[in-house]
Amino acid sequence: MIQAKWIDQALFEPAFINGNWLVHSVFQHSFNLQDPRQDQLICVSKQAARVPKGMILAADDYAALATGLVAGTTLLVQQRVIHFPHHRLSFQKAAKFTTTVPAGTVPFDRELFWSTLQNVTEKTGIQEAVSATIRSNHPFYDAIDQLCTPSFKEQRQAVAYLVGRGIGLTPTGDDMLVGHLLARRVMGQEDTRLVAYLQRRLLTVNDLTTDVSKHYLLHALTGAFNQSALSLTRCTDSAAFYQVIKEILAIGHTSGADFLSGFARSIDQFQNNRNEEFIWQNEWSSL
């Protein structure tokens, strides 16, 4: 029997003990399984990246399971053992990792982050350098700015513009939106109305975006992100920021860059909003 090395601790929830999972998609380094309700993906990979609902296997074990595996195959799950056509995979005793960011303001050195970001020349999905994020007037960033306002009308317009916009497994607009949602956690700017609206849209509107992107968006709405994104919130010096940003930029074709730009633009907007509120309060108190 093949043993998983690492899994997201969320997979120890009762919902994943037994059932029938569907093979959703198969790639070179990972494949995705889907739960019976078809509203969650479980990502099985030979790579070390720790993602929400992720499971990491040794390379040889991954190859044994993935060989000949095709989308649409139904797999029986019994007591956290997945029955593949020619093998069984147990995740009962796997080491656990977490992908969640606690709610509330997270200690984060914005100045160090900005200084590191200024040297990032990699391009986003809109073909602009990440370092230009704060200065850009591109419509994608206008939408991020709208998301940072308290206006629910503007937030809905931003969601309509961003979700599903772009190409690839995780479109640019979605990756930027995931970055925005992490920024809300870091800055203590959680918005339950926006979260509820986005969840409802993702779960009730068909073909709003790709299944893979929907998976990451739904998890981001609950505060769950991949390990590199979590590491970004824990950096305490420029060397750490440089290393984590390098890891994030390696995700997908432009997914990492898009995530970073959405995160950075949102951090900047929330900070500007705080500064404006502080100035307004001081002016009001002096009257």
Domain boundary at 97, 126, 152, which? 97
Task: Report, in angstroms and rounded to the nearest whole number, the Rg of the chain calculated over CA atoms.
Answer: 20
Bridge partner residues of 116 (DSSP) = none
Residue 262 has pLDDT above 80, yes or no: yes
- Enter the tokens of residue 246: 């390098």
* pLDDT recorded at residue 281: 45
Which range marks the domain in which residue 204 is found? 110-285
Residue 282 has pLDDT above 70, yes or no: no
CA distance linking residue 235 with residue 104, whole number of Å: 17
Bridge partner residues of 22 (DSSP) = 34, 74
pTM: 0.89
Based on the domain organization, do 265 and 141 belong to the same domain?
Answer: yes
- Residue pLDDT, tens place only, 93-125: 999 999 988 776 667 888 999 999 999 999 999
- Residue pLDDT, tens place only, 203-224: 999 899 999 999 999 999 999 9
Based on the domain organization, do 120 and 252 belong to the same domain?
Answer: yes
Distance of CA 76 to the CA centre of its chain: 28
Angle of CA points 221, 224, 229, to nearest 5°:
110
- Mean pLDDT, range 164-170, rounded to an integer: 92
* pLDDT recorded at residue 275: 57
Domain boundary at 46, 74, 97, which? 97
Q: How many domains in the chain?
A: 2
* Residues whose CB is less than 8 angstroms from the CB of residue 204 and which lie 6 or more positions away in sequence, other chains included: none
- Enter the tokens of residue 82: 């997945």
- Residue pLDDT, tens place only, 54-77: 999 999 999 999 999 999 999 999
Assess contact for 165 and 173: CB atoms under 8 A.
Answer: yes
